[in-house]
Structure 1
Amino acid sequence: MRASRFVSTVALSMCVVAMGGCAEGAGGNDAGESRPVPRSTRAQDDLLKSAESALVRRCLTERKVALPPAQRGSANRTGTGSGTAQDQGAARQRQFPYGIDDPAWAAEHGFGSAAATGGGPDRGDGARDAPQAQPTQQAQPTQQAQQQAGQAPASKRQAAERQQRLADALFGIGRRELSTRTATGLVVTANSDGCLAEAQRVLYGDQARWFRAEVAVNNLEAAAHHRVTRDAAYRAALARWARCVAPVQKAEDPGELRNAWQRRARDLEPRQATGLQRRYAVAEARCVRSTDLAGTGARLEKRHAADVRAEYADLVADHRRMRERGLRHAVRHGL
């Protein structure tokens, strides 16, 4: 498998804007002294994203590549709007990595965010979607898309060309020089000649080392989850869950239960489909609770997470050292 980046104007805008800001900060106080490195992990993450954003924008300017207008509405949407709507969204997106274990929640929300996709982080079947690999490869346009582009108005063709130039400048072109494999077997590749790579080189000192360490660290949680679902203790709990839910719907795991609902829902009216979804979700939750499937998964994950971190200790330590370097560079140069 290879991670891919699909190029769109919004995605490219948000790639830079969502890194943590658009402008380069002064970074110093009235005496000209550098501000201290933030102490909290979240603040450090924000600083690194802001620094990457500033360096990427500087690189694009030097290459005479223009960014699209910032999607301010999208960028500022977080933290605004109705609190009730936010609470409802958070409730529907609640994650249950080893099956829904809250019957009351299931009765209200069904499968939640997993219902629309047939899975996701909370599918509960032990097969989370692709690990958090750093997407690096641009999707190549199909022949049909190219033909359509040739028939499009000049303004659309020009916009597509500008978008492609931006993608090339951001992520690089040609053969992807960097490659690494995650603990779950996903192969991730990247170019080393784009502005994102250049920003990482400036911040962390060695972009290739940062790439390997970042991909590894971002996939530790997925690796632990992957091991849990192959653990004999978890498989035994899952077998008990399957027997429990069988009177409602035969399924080997919660992911298969969602798939069964989707197949049946195609021939139902929306209200009937919603009712069936909630029925299945409640059955899942009651059986998860009675068999302790989620509790078993959570306990095993702690053990496997420790094992994974121990196996990748060198990369984790390398990642920490490069983060510290990046933070120092960011405050020293007012990024």
Structure 2
Amino acid sequence: MQRHRPVRATAAAVAAFLLLGACGSATGAPSGPSPRAAADPAVPLAAAGEPSAADTRLLERAEQILISRCMAGRGFPYAVTEAPEDTARSFPYGVDDVAWARAHGYGGRDQRAAARAREDDPNQRYFRGLSASGRAAARSALMGSAPVGLSATAPTGMTITASAEGCIADAERTLYGDLATWFRVKVVTMNLRPVRETRVHEDRQYADAVGQWAACMRAAGRPYPDPDASRQAAARFGEGMPPAEADAAEAELAVIEATCATGTPLARVSQALDRTYGDRLRARHREDIALRWRLQNGALATARRVSEEAA
């Protein structure tokens, strides 16, 4: 059974993905580690030269410019937009920051604001105004007619495919040269986080810490067995309350959750396990991480030229 999954490109391309539907697909195909993944953990990753945040923004902007040029050549306008600052925080093991919880709850208000920003994206507005046949043509121009030509197996065991045609593929080929290699290392490195989080959730130490957290929550009148159940309860607030009341109720519950996380071993244990499994995964996939960095660094000269030409 196949499930469609987007592969991250630029912020504007993501907006188009959300509207048009991704051309990438993923199939559950567990596999063992490849020989490339067994890199020597004694070699420091820093030797590969991790791109700075400014370098990453430059690459993303250049990719958007290249996509825009390509789409114009195929008869479709495509706006180059600045990626919004990502202020969202992720708490995969339960909210453990009381101050953040008091200000943001579980992030529901922030998510609504982000959704409104996506709605205002000029590419979103343009694609929404197209006919069904027009959207299909635009999707094909942007992402290729079918998710074939590129394939990579993520650390999750899922095989992800995408088109080697279309303007996104052309832009990435211009920047990184070997599109198949870029696609593979991008898929691998982007999917380390879900593997890490799964391993933490499956660890006995985490389960024991959740048990102590749940006892704290029961004592506070919130009998949820785990942080996921607490989060689901908060999500239901919006179904029967006005937004302001739902946000207040969400924040109240999130503060209780965070107080219990920091008042029991949950925050300490989950953070320690996250570091441990993260270090192991980075060591195992060291070569792919370093190769991604080398490809990004190698693309910077082209990205600067593309950006200067568009200025």
SS at match of 1:100: coil
- Counterpart check, 1:283 vs 2:256: yes
1:312 to 273, 278, 285: 285
Match of 2:107 in 1: 112
Q: In 2 relative to 1, CA 107–327 (structure 1 residues): closer, same or farther, beyond 3 Å?
A: closer
Match of 1:66 in 2: 76
TM-aligned CA deviation for residue 210 of structure 1:
0.4
Give per-residue Cα distances to partners, 1:126-149, cap 9 Å, x unaligned: xxxxxxxxxxxxxxxxxxxxxxxx
Considering only aligned residues, what root-mean-square deviation do their CA atoms show, in Å?
A: 3.7
Counterpart CA distance in 2 for 1:282 and 1:276 is 10
Larger radius of gyration: 1
- Counterpart check, 1:240 vs 2:212: yes
1:46 to 57, 62, 81: 57
Match of 2:296 in 1: 323
Match of 1:98 in 2: 93
Aligned pairs, how many?
A: 257
Counterpart CA distance in 2 for 1:65 and 1:39 is 37
Unaligned runs of 5+ in 1: 17-37, 80-88, 118-155
Q: In 2 relative to 1, CA 277–302 (structure 1 residues): closer, same or farther, beyond 3 Å?
A: same
Give the letter aligned to residue 195 of structure 1. C
TM-aligned CA deviation for residue 221 of structure 1:
2.8
Q: In 2 relative to 1, CA 76–322 (structure 1 residues): closer, same or farther, beyond 3 Å?
A: closer
TM-aligned CA deviation for residue 5 of structure 1:
4.9
- Counterpart check, 1:207 vs 2:179: yes
Give the letter aligned to residue 108 of structure 2. S
Q: In 2 relative to 1, CA 238–166 (structure 1 residues): closer, same or farther, beyond 3 Å?
A: same
Give the letter aligned to residue 77 of structure 2. L
Unaligned runs of 5+ in 2: 18-48, 113-127
1:57 to 62, 68, 72: 68
Give per-residue Cα distances to partners, 1:214-262, cap 9 Å, x unaligned: 1211222332222222222212111111122124232221110122344
Give the letter aligned to residue 67 of structure 1. P
Counterpart CA distance in 1 for 2:292 and 2:55 is 14
TM-aligned CA deviation for residue 159 of structure 1:
4.3
Q: In 2 relative to 1, CA 283–161 (structure 1 residues): closer, same or farther, beyond 3 Å?
A: same
Match of 2:3 in 1: 2
Q: TM-score, normalised by structure 1?
A: 0.64
Counterpart CA distance in 1 for 2:240 and 2:108 is 21
Out of 94-103 and 208-217, give the one that drifted further.
94-103
Counterpart CA distance in 2 for 1:13 and 1:293 is 34
Counterpart CA distance in 2 for 1:328 and 1:191 is 26
The answer to whether the 8 A contact 2:104-2:110 is kept is: no
Q: How does 1:107-256 map to 2 (within 5 A)?
A: 107-113=102-108, 159-247=131-219, 248-256=221-229
TM-aligned CA deviation for residue 190 of structure 1:
0.5
Counterpart CA distance in 2 for 1:237 and 1:246 is 14
Q: TM-score, normalised by structure 2?
A: 0.68
Q: In 2 relative to 1, CA 233–115 (structure 1 residues): closer, same or farther, beyond 3 Å?
A: farther
The answer to whether the 8 A contact 1:2-1:187 is kept is: no
Counterpart CA distance in 2 for 1:264 and 1:49 is 37
